[in-house]
């Protein structure tokens, strides 16, 4: 199959760019020191490529992701890095090692009641999301152990720093965040200090395992933050309308990649060689530097990779105009 044969909008992954991102992160975080986050791609075939580059454990965001990874034979060491209260499906999983983040008495009790065996104490390191106070981590670990759970260590996600524009400041703030995590770890014990993401993967030497995810496919928000990985994912679209310049309106074109095909929480997508005006449900409207015609194909770069992928059933792996493979986005859903 050729690129031109694909029905649009379609996710396309540049095979060379993907492999170069996987190799670069694996060089920085080899073997079990990298625990790639599958929420960024939701695709077990891509996770298998990360395993081929040396990763043995993976980070998941949903129970569905844990189940799908286990079913794909990639369940040697799965971390559900989110709090869950209904853990029955996790406890029922066979042939997978599953560790769950807990940050409260309620989530500890839910893990024990559902048959989960191993947990990490999730510590808030500065982002107003989940995680206990660092000073509460030790007591929570005691409570988990008393409930029969094995506590492997701590996790703390410095999500608020991932796209911090100034890299020196990002590094300093990451250190401050990780000092909180290390203090909690001193009270909790265990072998694991888990955290990090694409944006801090070069400036967080404090974790024992790096949870980065977006680096594999990338997006324009991370590129703008200068994190050092290349854009591997595009949404292929077709130009469905062009409008010549009029006295009251400059020329523009419209392609079939709208906000239902793109995660828009980090802003508009970009189109190389064009200025994007706006997205509507099914359309992106843009002004191109060079003339475009109805039927032309365009490659749209999403501003946020994770929600973009989650809108699609499959991604096509391409080299130039050739479609080499089609991977199911099989971890979609909950
Ligand atoms: C808990 C956790 N760890 C790691 C990551 C990975 O971050 P990124 O995709 O930016 O590399 C995320 C992303 O939101 C996350 O929620």
Model confidence at 240: pLDDT above 90: yes
> What pLDDT, on the 0 to 100 scale, is given for residue 156?
98
Last residue of a domain, one of 184, 216, 248: 216
pLDDT band for position 323 (cuts 50, 70, 90): very high
Task: Identify which of 314, 257, 306 has the alpha carbon closest to the alpha carbon of residue 281.
Answer: 257
Q: pLDDT, tens digit, for every residue of 154-208?
A: 999 999 999 999 999 999 999 999 999 999 999 999 999 999 999 999 999 999 9
Residue 299 bridge partners (DSSP)? 236
Last residue of a domain, one of 216, 247, 271: 216
Counting atoms of ligand 1 from 1, which one is nearest the CA of 81?
1
Mutate to test the pocket of ligand 1, among 22, 35, 159, 210 (most ligand atoms within 8 A of CB): 159
The average confidence (pLDDT) of the chain is 97
DSSP state letters, 148-184: T-EEEEEEE--GGGTT-SSHHHHHHHHHHHHHHHHHH
Mutate to test the pocket of ligand 1, among 38, 39, 43, 207 (most ligand atoms within 8 A of CB): 39
Read off the pLDDT of each residue in 49-65 and give the average, rounded to a whole number.
98
Establish if 222 belongs to a structural domain.
no
Residue 118 shares a structural domain with residue 161: yes
Number of structural domains in the chain? 2
Cα distance between residue 178 and residue 158, in whole Å? 8
Binding site membership of 227 for ligand 1 (Cβ less than 6 Å): no
Which residue's CA lies nearest to atom 14 of ligand 1? Answer: 159
Counting atoms of ligand 1 from 1, which one is nearest the CA of 199?
10
Last residue of a domain, one of 190, 216, 242: 216
Q: pLDDT, tens digit, for every residue of 98-114?
A: 999 999 999 999 999 99
Read off the pLDDT of each residue in 23-48 and give the average, rounded to a whole number.
98
Residue 181 shares a structural domain with residue 259: no
Q: Cβ neighbours of residue 287 under 8 Å, at least 6 residues apart?
A: 250, 251, 252, 253, 274, 275, 277
Binding site membership of 204 for ligand 1 (Cβ less than 6 Å): no
Task: Identify which of 50, 30, 52, 32 has the alpha carbon closest to the alpha carbon of residue 40.
Answer: 50
Model confidence at 298: pLDDT above 90: yes
Residue 29 shares a structural domain with residue 170: yes
Check which CATH number belongs to the domain holding 84 and give it. 3.20.20.10
Model confidence at 271: pLDDT above 90: yes
Binding site membership of 162 for ligand 1 (Cβ less than 6 Å): yes
Counting atoms of ligand 1 from 1, which one is nearest the CA of 162?
10
* Burial of residue 227 (number of CB atoms within 10 Å: 0-12, 13-18, 19+): buried
pLDDT band for position 94 (cuts 50, 70, 90): confident
> Percent of the chain at pLDDT above 70?
100
Residue 28 shares a structural domain with residue 63: yes
What single DSSP character describes residue 302?
A: P
pLDDT band for position 115 (cuts 50, 70, 90): very high
- Quick check: 153 and 187 in contact, CB under 8 A? no
Dist. CA 169 → ligand 1 center (Å): 19
Dist. CA 5 → ligand 1 center (Å): 34
Check which CATH number belongs to the domain holding 313 and give it. 2.40.37.20
> What pLDDT, on the 0 to 100 scale, is given for residue 207?
98
Binding site membership of 87 for ligand 1 (Cβ less than 6 Å): no
Residue 253 shares a structural domain with residue 160: no
pLDDT band for position 334 (cuts 50, 70, 90): confident
Dist. CA 116 → ligand 1 center (Å): 23
> What pLDDT, on the 0 to 100 scale, is given for residue 232?
98
Establish if 295 belongs to a structural domain.
yes
Dist. CA 237 → ligand 1 center (Å): 28
In terms of DSSP bridges, do strands 118-122 and 98-102 run parallel, antiparallel, or are they unpaired? parallel
Structural domain boundaries enclosing 314: 3-10+230-328
Taking 3-state DSSP, the helix, strand and coil percentages for the chain, each rounded to the nearest 5, stand at 35, 25, 40
The number of CA neighbours under 13 Å toward the Cβ of 61 is: 20
The backbone torsions φ and ψ at residue 215, rounded to the nearest 5 degrees and listed phi first, read -55, -30
> What pLDDT, on the 0 to 100 scale, is given for residue 16?
98
Dist. CA 317 → ligand 1 center (Å): 23
Binding site membership of 81 for ligand 1 (Cβ less than 6 Å): yes
Residue 44 shares a structural domain with residue 140: yes
């Amino acid at each position: 199959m050729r690129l031109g044969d694909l029905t649009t909008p379609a996710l396309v992954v540049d095979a060379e760019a993907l492999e170069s991102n996987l190799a670069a992160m694996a060089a920085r975080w080899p073997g079990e020191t990298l625990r790639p986050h599958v929420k960024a791609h939701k695709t077990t075939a891509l996770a298998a490529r990360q395993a081929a580059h040396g990763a043995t454990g993976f980070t998941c965001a949903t129970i569905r992701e844990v189940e799908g990874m286990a079913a794909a034979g990639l369940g040697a060491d799965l971390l559900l890095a989110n709090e869950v209260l209904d853990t029955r499906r996790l406890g029922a999983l066979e042939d997978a090692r599953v560790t769950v983040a807990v940050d409260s008495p309620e989530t500890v009790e839910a893990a024990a009641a559902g048959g989960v065996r191993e947990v990490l104490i999730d510590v808030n390191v500065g982002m107003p999301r989940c995680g206990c106070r660092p000073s509460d981590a030790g007591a929570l670990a005691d409570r988990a152990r008393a409930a029969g759970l094995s506590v492997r260590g701590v996790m703390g996600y410095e999500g608020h720093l991932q796209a911090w524009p100034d890299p020196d400041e990002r590094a300093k703030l990451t250190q401050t965040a990780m000092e909180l995590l290390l203090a909690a770890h001193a009270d909790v014990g265990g072998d694991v200090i888990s955290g990090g993401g694409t944006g801090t993967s070069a400036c967080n030497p404090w974790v024992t395992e790096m949870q980065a995810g977006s680096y594999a496919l990338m997006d324009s928000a991370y590129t703008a933050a200068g994190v050092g990985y290349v854009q591997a994912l595009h949404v292929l679209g077709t130009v469905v309308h062009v409008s010549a310049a009029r006295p009251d309106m400059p020329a523009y074109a419209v392609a079939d990649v709208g906000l239902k095909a793109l995660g828009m929480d980090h802003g508009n997508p970009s189109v190389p060689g064009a200025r994007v005006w706006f997205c509507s449900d099914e359309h992106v409207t843009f002004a191109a530097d060079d003339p475009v015609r109805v039927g032309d194909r365009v490659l749209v770069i999403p501003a946020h990779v994770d929600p973009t992928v989650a809108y699609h059933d499959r991604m096509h792996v391409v080299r130039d105009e050739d479609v080499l493979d089609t991977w199911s986005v099989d971890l979609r859903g909950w």
